[in-house]
Structure 1
Amino acid sequence: MERMLARLIAAGGEVLLCGTCMDARGISDDDVLQGARRSTMDELAAATVAAEKVLVF
């Protein structure tokens, strides 16, 4: 999965992470793949509505 997401980021894709989910699992910003970033529910909802395709893991 890390290789796939790194390719997505390298191609200009955006990887947004649910901050609430990260907190619940004890994941910090330093633990995530470079180029992925913590997001908010409002931002995730807006990105989902605006996106042509959305992948969820």
Structure 2
Amino acid sequence: MAGQKTPNGFYNLERMLRAVAAQDALIGCCGSCLDARGMCDSQLVQGTRRSDMDELADWTLWADKVIAF
């Protein structure tokens, strides 16, 4: 989620995603997870987009390495 405030000692997912996006990586956010948390696309970190399980499966088969968090 864009603009998140995390306490010291906790991972800031926005910062992590921005670092990955800066490397021109494709970043898909789980649509079901977004829906379960009441998040809309406008709350996503710049450089990310809503995705789905079909795309995750396609990427997993295509890629040499997959990072999920």
* TM-score (norm. length: structure 1): 0.86
More strand per residue: 1
1:1-57 equivalence runs, <5 A? 1-57=13-69
Cα shift at 1:4: 2.3
4+ residue segments displaced more than 3 Å: none
Cα RMSD after superposing both structures: 1.1
| Gap runs ≥5 in structure 2 | 1-12
How many equivalent residue pairs? 57
| Gap runs ≥5 in structure 1 | none
1:13-41 deviation line (CA, Å, top 9, x unaligned) = 11101111110111110111011000121
Question: Which one-letter code corresponds to 1:17 in the other structure?
Answer: C
Distance 2:34 2:63 in 1: 22
Distance 1:56 1:27 in 2: 19
Over the matched positions of the two proteins, sequence identity in percent amounts to: 49
Question: Which one-letter code corresponds to 1:30 in the other structure?
Answer: S
